[in-house]
Structure 1
Amino acid sequence: MTTSDDALTYVYAAAPLTAGLREALKGLRGIYGSPVLFVTAAPFASDSADGADGADGPPVTLAFATSHVPRGDFDERALKNHFEDLEWLEDVARAHHDVVQALSTRTTVLPLRMATVYQDDDRAGQALGEQHDAFAERLSQLTAHTEFGVKIYLAPSAAPAGTGPGADTGAGTGAATTPGKAYLQRRRAQHNAQEAVYGQAQEAAEIVEAIASRYASQHARHPTQRGALTGPGENVVNDAYLVPDAYAESFRAAIEDAVDVFDGIRVEVTGPWAPYSFAMPPAEPRRSAGGEEHGP
């Protein structure tokens, strides 16, 4: 099936076309509330009916999970404008994420970047076929795995005991005797306390990595977050781990138990998520005389 002239084909993820995917698609809605459908490409070999391995076994069809979206909002010119609209971006990103997460509960998914669109279903299917082997290989590595995030935050800074504005600055015990010296002492004490907290964060990060090496198959390091995304405290570690499903609870419990001894930091373990951090980087967009593919 192809799209109408005023619509484009939006792609959320690639997945093997299994019974689990078909079930997940029933009633699922995506961008602007549009139904989530699928387009297919040539089959690849798999060693299980629900797997995505590229080894021996019966052929399994690869599919894109798609929706039809208005051309006026998702063609190349419109996207350039929309990328300046944070409210629009948030709505589309949330819908994209919700679809990928819903699919990931029923089958292995390879999430694609937000705003991956094609002229129509036929073009999307062609692109899927052209990248078939690469998608199949990556899906085989993601089967029975999920992503967990581990973030480390410094506790909100506060003056150590005895260093606040009302602290004793009298003589006789090496304390400052003037307001200027008292200020310098407070600043020095605050700096030392902050350095101690950074030291705790570094120690916690090393512990997390050591534990994760026993459970996770892959590790991705993301830039630390800034501003409102971090909440109270500074984000100093923002990592993702690809963990086999069989070890998921052990992974979470081991990290949470190990870092519970630290007072000056906060460690947050999130997940399980669809494997966004471990999806294959999209290929360069392909163009034809007929239009503006922005897809993988």
Structure 2
Amino acid sequence: MSDLIYVYGIINENQTPPVFKGIDGERDAHTISLGKVDAVVCDVSQQEFGEEALQQKVEQADWLHEKAFHHHEALMKLYEYCTVIPMKFGTIYKSFENLERTIAKHCDQLIESLEVLVDKEEWNFKIYCNNEKLREGIAIHNPTVESKKEEIAGLSPGRQYLEKRKLSQLVNQELEKEKESFSTLVHDSLQAFSVSSEVKKNWNKDVTGRNEEMSWNSVYLIQKNQVESYLDHIKELQKKWEDSGWMLEATGPWPAYHFVALPKSEGTR
């Protein structure tokens, strides 16, 4: 039974990737020449990575975590030495012919993507907020809330009671507006340092494991000579706004998952 081909990523033909153990933990990863690009791959057995076997394996949390972490670590090693188009975890081809056919079909697209990624880094950026702290500030300083308070003060005692109950709802509404406005303003300022950006879905607290709420999640492709300025800008914003209940977090650099169009792998199962 012939081996399968596990693909980590695509690099230019003139680059030399580091040597590392493949996802099976036994054989070394290596490159396959595919014209003007190379694929960084490792051979894997049908017994462990065949379609039916893999479906069973991914249901095992320990195995999945170990292999997904290996895939990520391998891409980080490649990223240190090469411009790389990262493949998704579990990209497997049945044969060299299937891999070669897919790459040949998308070769121009891959070469263009590699050119775009030269001397650039992907950075993730998140904004977290302390809702209670922000709510306190809005209750005191927000013009709309202040106006409502003045309106309530001029009402009869009975009407005041009813309107004060609505005031909390108004504060919550203004809180959501404030989070959207602040996050968008910060994002706009960070785009000045990037060549491309993407806004992603916010994660809930079950995913982040944090007490603070995530109010923004985005990713930027940044020229390497702009990264220091990008990070300095975030530090300045954090220092300016942390007492108000905002937490700004940049992580990276990461393999550029978000800024390349990956070809569909017709040759995989």
2:18–2:81 Cα contact (<8 Å) kept: no
Deviation of 1:269 (Å):
0.8
Task: Tell me which residue corresponds to 2:156.
Answer: none
Deviation of 1:125 (Å):
3.3
Task: Tell me which residue corresponds to 2:4.
Answer: 8
**Other structure's SS at 2:124 match:** strand
Task: Tell me which residue corresponds to 2:29.
Answer: 36
Task: Tell me which residue corresponds to 2:39.
Answer: 64
Task: Tell me which residue corresponds to 1:225.
Answer: 203
Which stretch of structure 1 is more off in the superposition, 6-15 or 261-270? Answer: 261-270
Report the RMSD for the aligned CA atoms in angstroms: 3.0
Q: Deviations over 1:110-156 (max 9, x none)?
A: 01111110123443334323321111111111111110111112226
- Do residues 206 (structure 1) and 187 (structure 2) align? no
2:10–2:39 Cα contact (<8 Å) kept: yes
Task: Tell me which residue corresponds to 1:109.
Answer: 84
1:74 maps to amino acid: F
Hey, what's the Cα distance between the residues in 2 that align with 1:256 and 1:30? 38
Give 5+ residue unaligned stretches, structure 1.
44-61, 164-172, 174-180, 287-292
Deviation of 1:274 (Å):
1.2
2:98–2:266 Cα contact (<8 Å) kept: no
Task: Tell me which residue corresponds to 1:280.
Answer: 261
Higher relative contact order (CA 8 A, sep 6+): 2
**Other structure's SS at 2:128 match:** strand
Closer, same or farther in 2 for the Cα pair 1:123/1:155, shift >3 Å? Answer: same
2:12 maps to amino acid: P
Hey, what's the Cα distance between the residues in 2 that align with 1:72 and 1:109? 29
Hey, what's the Cα distance between the residues in 2 that align with 1:134 and 1:74? 28
Q: TM-score, normalised by structure 2?
A: 0.78
Which stretch of structure 1 is more off in the superposition, 212-221 or 152-161? Answer: 152-161
2:4 maps to amino acid: L
Richer in helix (by share):
2
1:39–1:66 Cα contact (<8 Å) kept: yes
Task: Tell me which residue corresponds to 1:25.
Answer: 18
**Other structure's SS at 2:89 match:** strand
Task: Tell me which residue corresponds to 1:141.
Answer: 116
Deviation of 1:200 (Å):
4.1
How many residues matched? 245
Hey, what's the Cα distance between the residues in 2 that align with 1:156 and 1:86? 34
1:154–1:197 Cα contact (<8 Å) kept: no
Q: Deviations over 1:167-194 (max 9, x none)?
A: xxxxxx9xxxxxxx8xx979965x5665
Q: TM-score, normalised by structure 1?
A: 0.72
* Structure-to-structure mapping, 1:1-296, within 5 angstroms: 5=1, 7-18=3-14, 21-22=15-16, 24-26=17-19, 28-34=20-26, 35-43=28-36, 62-155=37-130, 157=132, 189=168, 194-195=172-173, 197-230=175-208, 231-262=210-241, 263-283=244-264, 285-286=266-267, 293-294=268-269
Hey, what's the Cα distance between the residues in 2 that align with 1:185 and 1:84? 53
Task: Tell me which residue corresponds to 2:158.
Answer: none
1:273 maps to amino acid: W
1:238 maps to amino acid: N
1:152–1:265 Cα contact (<8 Å) kept: yes
Aligned-residue sequence identity (percent) comes to 21
Hey, what's the Cα distance between the residues in 1 that align with 2:253 and 2:108? 27
Deviation of 1:66 (Å):
0.6
1:200–1:265 Cα contact (<8 Å) kept: no
